[in-house]
Copies of this chain bind each other. A is one copy, B any other.
Amino acid sequence: MSGPFIAVDWGTTNRRAYVIDKSEVVASEQDDGGVLSVPAGGFPASVADLRARHGGLPMLLAGMVGSNRGWHDAGYVAAPAGIAELAGNLVSPVEGVDIVPGVCRDSGGRQDVMRGEEVQLLGAVAAGLAPADALLCQPGTHVKWAVMQGGVLADFTSSMTGEMFAMLKAHSLIGSEMTGGVDADEEFRKGVEASADGDLLAALFGVRAASVLGARAPGAAAAYVSGLLLGTDCRARIKPGETVYLLADGLLARLYSAAISIAGGEAVIVDSHAAFIAGITRIRDMTP
């Protein structure tokens, strides 16, 4: 399909909408109207409001809005999957509004799912922000590591890294030790280095022991634990010398760049908003 449309990256806690015309963003808005903020039965009104604000254009939605906790379950297409597979499996809850499906993998006894990230990943490659054969990483609550082959999302692994950090801080024995800020500083690097032991469960208890024995300065443990977790994640994913295309900015970009480097790889930062625009525009273009 051609012509201007409204693209929405509709996640769990946030929502970004773009009016796209001839591959250019001509208007955009962002709010905290993520899936969790929408009351039961509230999606039709929320979608209609958003659409009305932007001239009633056709809409193409991606992200958790298409999950069973969102508006309408848009299902999954199986990896390997490209733009064509996404465009060919849109789900339309109401006239003029389509939702992009997620991507799943299920082989060798290992299952994985993503929803929303696939647009960025395929968009990054389609726009030439990353090569057609590459390892891509999207940090977050559930980090996505995607293996792209021939421009297609060939396989991927999700890791509970961000959620684990938040859970340890809020609910574990070492939570009260996890004070101080997190940045790609010396303590963070020590954590990434310690993750080379491949013994996360013991290293986490060691944070408590270091505190009891006065072996770590107060305010240093949060950065150390972040380093342990990101280091564990990166080491499980990266071959020596491998380049990782990192769809992140700000703090997460700094942390993952440092962890990837210490783990033996090299990070290249990719603009994730540009990747989304590129991906969603191509899905729209290929929609029958």
Contact = CB atoms under 8 A, between A and B. Distances in A.
Contacts of A212: 104, 111, 113
A150 to B, nearest CB: 24
A170 B171 contact: yes
B236 A104 contact: no
Interface of A: 76, 104, 106, 109-113, 142, 157-161, 163-164, 167-168, 170-173, 194, 198-202, 204-206, 208-210, 212-213, 215, 229, 232-233, 236
Contact of A157 (B76, B168, B202): B202
A201 B161 CA distance: 6
A236 B163 contact: no
B209 A111 contact: yes
A202 B109 CA distance: 13
Kindly report how many copies of this chain are found in the complex they form together. Answer: 2
A111 B208 CA distance: 9
A213 B109 contact: no
Contact of A158 (B164, B202, B215): B202
B167 A215 contact: no
B167 A106 contact: no
A111 B142 contact: no
A107 to B, nearest CB: 11
Given A106-B215, A200-B200, 14 more contacts: A110-B206, A111-B210, A112-B202, A112-B205, A112-B209, A142-B205, A157-B199, A157-B202, A158-B202, A159-B205, A164-B201, A167-B167, A171-B171, A201-B236
23 contacts: A76-B213, A104-B213, A106-B213, A110-B206, A111-B206, A112-B202, A112-B206, A113-B208, A157-B199, A157-B202, A160-B173, A160-B205, A163-B172, A164-B201, A164-B204, A167-B167, A167-B171, A167-B172, A198-B236, A200-B232, A201-B232, A201-B233, A202-B236
A202 B198 CA distance: 14
Contacts of A215: 106, 111
Contacts of A172: 160, 163, 167
A204 B159 CA distance: 8
